[in-house]
Amino acid sequence: MYPPFFDAPPSLLRKPDGSVLFECICSGSPQPKIQWFFKDKELNDDRHVQKIKKSVGKWTVTMIMKFTANLGPYVTDCYCYIVMHLV
């Protein structure tokens, strides 16, 4: 077990169709939970598609809306949590 950390700085790519691809690569054990936020709200609604590649801990959020309507700071957070069952 080891604490989560970012393997590379989070990145952003604007696609020709106007959507935006966010990418965060994070490692940790147990597998880290990674969240993206915009204006203090987590990006987890129907307009955001979230996929994870468990083999490399790569988390990608694709923004389906136009980028210019959503200017501002985006924040990502990476953490692990452990559930302990004591007998």
> 3-state DSSP call for residue 45?
coil
How many percent of the chain have pLDDT more than 90?
Answer: 0
Neighbours of 23 (CB within 10 A): 16
Amino acid 78: pLDDT: 67
Does residue 9 lie within any of the structural domains?
A: yes
Q: What are the two backbone dihedrals, phi and then psi, of residue 38, each rounded to the nearest 5 degrees? A: -135, 125
User: What is the rounded distance in angstroms from the CA atom of residue 60 to the CA atom of residue 50?
Assistant: 6
Amino acid 8: pLDDT: 75
Kindly report the CATH number assigned to the domain that includes residue 75: 2.60.40.10
Does residue 27 lie within any of the structural domains?
A: yes
Does residue 86 lie within any of the structural domains?
A: no
Does residue 73 lie within any of the structural domains?
A: yes
Range of the domain at 25: 2-79
Does residue 84 lie within any of the structural domains?
A: no
- Strand-pairing partners, residue 77, are 35
Q: What is the CA radius of gyration of the chain?
A: 14
Domain count, the chain: 1
Residue matched to tokens 């993206």: 36
Does residue 85 lie within any of the structural domains?
A: no
pLDDT over 70 at 71, yes or no: no
Q: What is the mean pLDDT of residues 68-77?
A: 68
Give residue 23's Cα distance to chain centre: 7
pTM higher than 0.85 for the full model?
no
